[in-house]
Structure 1
Amino acid sequence: MVVWSLIRRRRAASGLPVPGRCRPEAGRHVLATERLLLFTPRTRLDVAAALAACADAEAQRWLGTQADEVLPDPGMRRALLAWRPAGDDGRRMPRKLAQPYAPGPDDPLLLVCVRRSDLGYAGALELEHRTGEMGGWLAPACRGQGLGAELFRAGARLAHTHAGLATVRAGAEPGNTASRRALAHAGFVPDEGPARQTLPDGRVVEAVWHRHDSTAASRCR
């Protein structure tokens, strides 16, 4: 309890959202893992950094993001990921990036994630709460460290204890061993599903499916 209180005070002091203080009526959620803090974006910087984290060729091989959401300039991606969430590194953000972000009522739940050690942007998690499908990604500097399992465990918790979903599912290409291994370490099990899926950029790829179940689904308050 003492450690958790210290964590809560540290997050409050940094200006970042505090775990356990969601605002579901506004579509805003926050939760934490051992090394990550995940929260609904507050500014355009948060959204831009989330997109920058998955715009490299390695990530796009699997994600196939729509062209108008991919940041092609590597220098711009590095610059965005070098920022810290608004007000947490003492720098004045450009006005455009400082503008507030408000999720729409029908939008998927998007959570940007930062490393709790240094508040650097680490990636993002997306949950389509109407279908129960989830996806996530990590910034290049955060891959290969076991953070994928933490990210997907957070996704399962978001679905089960924030969105009230008894089952959450995630698809991956058979060759995407990193994502499939992370899902398994997060407690996901093999599931049936369409053998092929269409990515946002129009590519049709092979797919294998995983699911995570809960018998005590609930919603945050």
Structure 2
Amino acid sequence: MPGDVMVWSLIRRLRPAPGLPVPGRCGPDRHVLATGRLLLFTPRHRLDVAAALAACADPEAQRWLGTQADRIVPDPAVRRVLLGWRPAGDDGRRVPRELAEPFVPDGTGALFLVCVRRSDLSYAGGLELDPRTGELGGWLAPGCRGRGLGAELFGAGLALAHTHLGLATVRAGAEPGNTASRRALTRAGLVPDRGPDRHALPDGRVIEAVWHRHDTPAPSRCR
């Protein structure tokens, strides 16, 4: 009996909040994964996308990411409002109509997952993975940085690639001076790899780059 109680308690702690996607229940062009503290899923509404982009629009993040101008949320006040919401409909508030519209993946290009903290459902960041090249990238919201969540974020990216998309190899680049990102990649299990020593960011800036890699001998796909 004590063992059964312990297992049931663990299941209850790991269960996602009501209304959110459930890990292990992926659909066409839609994926959901969980780590100890994070839940990652294909956006369901435009709010998910807007909040994930707001999480990386601050100058500190853009120093490394170089996101295209049309994807940045420039106003800090707007970013705070977006990050103050919870995934559409899951905190009882009515979401503005334009942000409540469904997000429909187009099935081409990089996969994008929004990330929320499981403890309070706050938006925590985003993850991108290109299934054609196996290149992985991700970011955390300002309030989620410096807490060891980067390793969980990139670990989820490896799981997405290796056990959902059937990719044997994942690669990720970082600027040499971005020690937080490089540390998170290493803690997630990626190892140094060879690659181009210069990398062009989406906004056109060219930066120095170091590369990391992770391989699995038995990739698989989710149902």
TM-score by length of 1: 0.96
Give the 3-state SS of the residue equivalent to 1:86 in structure 2. Answer: coil
* 1:29 alignment counterpart: 31
Which segments of 5 or more consecutive residues in structure 1 lack a partner in the other structure? Answer: none
Superimposed CA distance per residue, residues 49-70 of structure 1 (whole angstroms, 9 cap, x where no aligned partner): 0100000000000000000101
Structure-2 separation of matches of 1:184 and 1:3: 32
SS in structure 1 at match of 2:173: strand
Cα deviation digits, residues 90-148 of structure 1 (max 9, x gap): 10000000000011111311110100000000001000011100000000000000000
What's the counterpart of residue 84 of structure 1?
86
Using the TM superposition, give the Cα deviation of residue 14 of structure 1 relative to its aligned residue in structure 2, in angstroms: 1.7
Alignment of 1:1-221 (within 5 A): 1-3=7-9, 5-7=11-13, 10-11=15-16, 14-23=18-27, 25=28, 27-221=29-223
Deviation, 1:2, is: 2.3
Q: State the 1:167 CA deviation.
A: 0.5
How much does 1:216 deviate?
Answer: 1.2
Structure 1 segments, 4+ long, off by >3 Å, are none
Secondary structure in 2 matching 1:97: helix
Matched to 1:77, the amino acid is R
Superposed displacement of residue 4, structure 1: 5.5
Q: CA deviation at 1:3?
A: 4.2
Report the Cα distance in structure 2 between the residues aligned to 1:200 and 1:80, rounded to whole angstroms: 23
Q: For the structure 1 residues 42 and 4, does the alpha-carbon distance in structure 2 shift closer, same or farther, using more than 3 Å as the test?
A: farther
How far apart in 1 are the matches of 2:20 and 2:37?
A: 15
Does the residue aligned with 1:81 lie in a helix, a strand or coil? Answer: helix
Distance 1:142 1:17 in 2: 21
Aligned length: 217
SS of equivalent residue, structure 1 residue 31:
strand
Q: TM-score, normalised by structure 2?
A: 0.95
Report the CA distance shift for 1:104/1:3 in structure 2 as closer, same or farther (over 3 A).
Answer: farther
Is there any run of 5+ residues in structure 2 with no aligned partner, and where? 1-6
Cα offset for 1:5?
A: 3.9
2:23 maps to amino acid: P
